[in-house]
Chain A
Amino acid sequence: MVKRTALLALLAAVLVFPAVFTLPFPRHVMIMIFLYGSLAVAWNILAGYCGQISLGHAVFFGIGAYTSTLLVARAGLTPWAGMAAGAALAVVFSQAVAFPVFRLRGHYFAIATIAVGEIVQTLVINWDWAGGARGVFVPIKRPDSLWNFQFHESKALYYYVALGLLLLGLAVTRWLERSRHGYYFRAVREDQQAAASLGVNVAREKHRAIAVSAGLTALGGTFYAQYIFFIDPESVLSLSLSILICLVAVLGGVGTLWGPVVGAAVLVPLSEYTRVWLGGTGRALDVVIYGALIMVIAVLQPAGLVGLAARLGRGRRG
């Protein structure tokens, strides 16, 4: 009950945030928290619940970003159609790569996902129609309209769309946690042989997990493209993005509903505000601090920050 009240209060606070903070930068930080939060939530479904640690999720993000942007720029479609198409394409692509890649375990799997990511990035860099290394601009349309998914006057609408993406991811995760698939996923994570012997169709469950994860990630890609208005292979398909998504989830706590959100809420402001504070010095001190803090958290709280919250909660009750 207390928990539910706290959650509602948090939601209310998040909803009124744009009314209180009218400057773009605080809103931008929140939007980034929502975006990375939703990406980490999507990643968490595959890695946290189903135990398949992917370091190639940027591929799905990139598919979402590129599909909608190319449809807008080359065919004049609304980004919303592109968003749906991108998610569908990401799901199809995930199923295609999943067949071979899911035979692998542990590091072999993780590296295979890196390999897929690098191959896709290389192909897009050399694909002239899709802009190649030069990237693609989203044609700017004035005035603002929901149909065009472009808001130049205020970030408030972006804010609520990003929040919507995050809530969608959380709702899907919540639903999965309680459905039998959620139990199957966790069984696969703990022990594939044992799960199979209990009658779980391991391959099919893994395919389900990656399909959901890929689709949700692609939605984030479209959002990014419509928010920044420019995409190129380096910003939406790179390994560093894949690692960042993983890092956000791991920092917060994998295999938990709130872990990825907590991770984003800590990591994004940490990186944004240390950069604002020290980035202009040209000595990378902000990045030094950022790296050091990640290590400190890893040492003090290897199971993620959510574990810390749970421990505090227990301590209070006990």
Chain B
Amino acid sequence: MEIVNFAHGEFLMLAMYVAFFAWALGHLDPLLALPLAVLALAALGWATYHGLIRWVLGGPMLAQIFATFGLAVFLRAGAQFLWGVDFRVVQDPWLGGRVALGPVFVGLPQLAASVAALVAFLGLWRFLARSETGVALQATAQDRQAAALMGVDTDRMYALGWALGAGCVGAAGALLAMYFYVFPDVGGTFALLAYVTVALGGFGNVPATLAAGVVVGLVEVFAGLLLAPAIKYAVVFLLYLAIVLWRPQGLFGRW
């Protein structure tokens, strides 16, 4: 859709709060709260499109940057206003502890999160590639006018795109809440890495994003292990620069 959402990290934060409150107030495990978080975030994405993005679509691309940036500031401060500044953690989720995969220990929540993320990826990919709506969505992303001429309700498609994107964040947030702390400022680093990851794979390409995600994760861990933890994120950014110099559209990007 060629809109970068600077409030992506804050969406993640809200999803984590949904999972946290489902656990704290409703005694729901984050796994059970996952659909709830997906729905809540999808609704938020839909509302964000209709309440905000739609009105700045006609303006320059920069207007979208500052609209979503304003949203990010608003949501972060709003979370502090409503829920305070404490760091919260879901205690004893169903999936805890670790499993040994050969000589390597992997945290069970992380493993579950990986599997779930993979499933979400496949679902999204199939939806975009196979279903009629998915194709219409891609068409809208590629060329809004042309899609409109072909009878695609682009307004609906945009809203759907936002709902879908935010819904995925909802799933990610619920999974993350199984093993990560929650507080109003939690989103920042994740959003930045997400932004880089997507660009690394190439915008508009779901499988490439998955591949890029794996690459970024591995680089982060190995840079920390073999070089120095202090520079592990710098190495990820360096990798991004190296790759886009070689392929200016990311690994498999379209635009």
- Interfacial residues, chain A to chain B (CB-CB below 8 A): 47, 53, 100-101, 103-108, 110-112, 114-116, 118-119, 122-123, 125-126, 239, 243, 246-247, 250-251, 254, 282-288, 290-295, 297-299, 302-304
Contact with A along B221-254 (1 / 0, CB 8 A): 0000000101101100110110011001110010
CB distance from B158 to the nearest CB of A (A): 16
Query: What are 14 pairs between A and B in contact, CB < 8 Å?
Result: A107-B4, A108-B250, A115-B241, A116-B237, A118-B234, A119-B241, A126-B230, A282-B85, A283-B80, A284-B80, A292-B74, A295-B67, A298-B52, A302-B59
Minimum-distance CB pairs A-B, first 9: A302-B59, A294-B70, A291-B74, A291-B73, A287-B77, A298-B67, A115-B237, A302-B63, A122-B234
**Given A291-B75, A295-B74, A298-B52, also A254-B237 (CB < 8 A):** no
The residues of B that contact A297 with a CB separation of less than 8 Å are: 66, 70
Report B52-84 CB contacts with A as 1/0, cut-off 8 Å.
Answer: 100110111111011101111111111011000
How far does the Cβ of A31 sit from chain B's closest Cβ, in whole Å? Answer: 23
For A133, give the chain B residue with the smallest CB separation. Answer: B230
Residue from the list B60, B73, B240, B248 in contact with A115, Cβ < 8 A? B240
Docked CA distance A47–B62 (Å):
10
A247 touches B69 (CB 8 A): yes
Cβ-defined contact, A298 with B241, below 8 A: no
Shortest Cβ distance from A114 into chain B, in angstroms?
A: 7
Residues of chain A within 8 A of B81, CB atoms compared:
283-285, 288
A123: nearest chain-B partner, CB-CB: B234
Q: Which residues of chain A have C-beta atoms less than 8 A from B203's C-beta? A: 107
CB of A105 within 8 A of CB of B248, answer yes
Q: Which chain A residues lie closer than 8 Å to B69 at the CB level?
A: 243, 247, 294
Q: Which residues of B contact A285 (CB under 8 A)?
A: 77, 81
| Contact A115 B78, CB 8 Å, known A250-B66, A291-B71, A298-B52 | no
* SS of B interface (majority): helix
Interface range for B = 35 or more
Contact of B241 among A107, A116, A239, A284 (CB under 8 A): A116
Q: Once bound together, how far apart are the Cα atoms of A200 and B70, in whole Å?
A: 37
Chain B residue nearest to A119 in the complex (CB): B234
Residue in chain B with minimal CB distance to A251: B66
Known contacts A118-B234, A119-B234, A299-B55; decide if A294 and B75 are in contact (CB<8 Å): no
Q: A114-B192, A287-B76 are in contact. Are A295 and B52 (CB under 8 A)?
A: yes
Q: Which residues of B contact A283 (CB under 8 A)?
A: 80-81
Query: CB-CB < 8 A to A290: which residues of B?
Result: 73, 77
Q: Is B33 an interface residue (CB 8 A)?
A: no
User: B233 touching A302 by the CB < 8 A rule?
Assistant: no
Shortest Cβ distance from A130 into chain B, in angstroms?
15
**Any A CB within 8 A of the CB of B181:** no
Tell me if B195 counts as interface (CB < 8 A to partner A): yes
Q: Which residues of B contact A126 (CB under 8 A)?
A: 228, 230-231
Give the contacting residue for A108; candidates B73, B76, B248; CB below 8 A.
B248
